[in-house]
Structure 1
Amino acid sequence: TLTRERIRLEDRAVKMSVKTVGKEKVGVLDIPGFYVGLTDDVKVQLQKLEKQNVSSIVIDLRSNGGGALTEAVSLSGLFIPSGPVVQVRDNNGKVREDSDNDGVVYYKGPLVVLVDRFSASASEIFAAAMQDYGRALIVGEPTFGKGTVQQYRSLNRIYDQMLRPDWPALGSV
């Protein structure tokens, strides 16, 4: 028999912990994926880490296959004052620049980003932005190297008519 069980989405949410290294407290944010709402969740965790007086933060993106590009951009914005995060070239060759423009840095302290060969897409974009802005030390192995983004596009139609070769259209027989 097949039993239906509830899916626990919190398994995919950001997790926060504090490690003691010598006399220092280090905050660790484990981010398994770039889901919609990640940046807001990380803001909450950053406030908790601030109350615990951590001296630095480690962001763990190992085995993070990516997710929402918008979250990669907005999460980057928590650690940089403002500026471009990524450029995307569409199939027509037009380049769009996604930037952080709010001018607010939510965490200014030392930052380390952990990556591995399974870190891809949005996680690579975030790690690259942190490296490009000199904001974090990137530690680990070379990432997946996806280099592309995808997005959902509405086809702006309610239905398509299915045609069969050499047969009348369905519904006309």
Structure 2
Amino acid sequence: MGMEDIVLLGGFAAIAIFGYYIMVKLDNFLDKVRRENEEQAQTTCFNIATSCVNIIPAVSNILKDINHLYPDVHCNLSVGSEQEVMKSFDCGDADVVIISADSDVESARLARWKCITLNPQSFSIDNGIVDVKTIEKNPQHQKVLWKGSDNQSLVLHFIHQLCGQRA
């Protein structure tokens, strides 16, 4: 065995050791990502969709309370057209939807609903950096729809807070 063979053997050994080191690091990284994904999958998500921008302050305050009471619950508030909101509700992507009380959106879903009246409110986004001012001054009539879901206790808590609240 000559000097070239020893250098070649040493080079192969170095590549093998380096490859093993990289694979261990990659395995640890992938294991960490898998654990984080499992933790996120176990987190309960509570989804609300609305077609009315003016209801955001009231809903946001209730969601803050829910987050305080249930820190493991992730709350989502989506805003869109009534058709998009109802589509989200039909698909099961929204636990609660809030649309105009005089909406002509028809649905074949089994849902409970309640009408509420809320006064429009201005609100701030990102800790007061953006002020969203409402032009509408008249109370707005909204229809709140919900159906039985895995988040039934959260839904009922939200409905109780929203429908008992007058802004």
Q: Structure 1 length as normaliser, TM-score?
A: 0.24
Q: Which protein is richer in helix relative to its size?
A: 2
Q: Structure 2 length as normaliser, TM-score?
A: 0.25
Bigger CA radius of gyration: 2
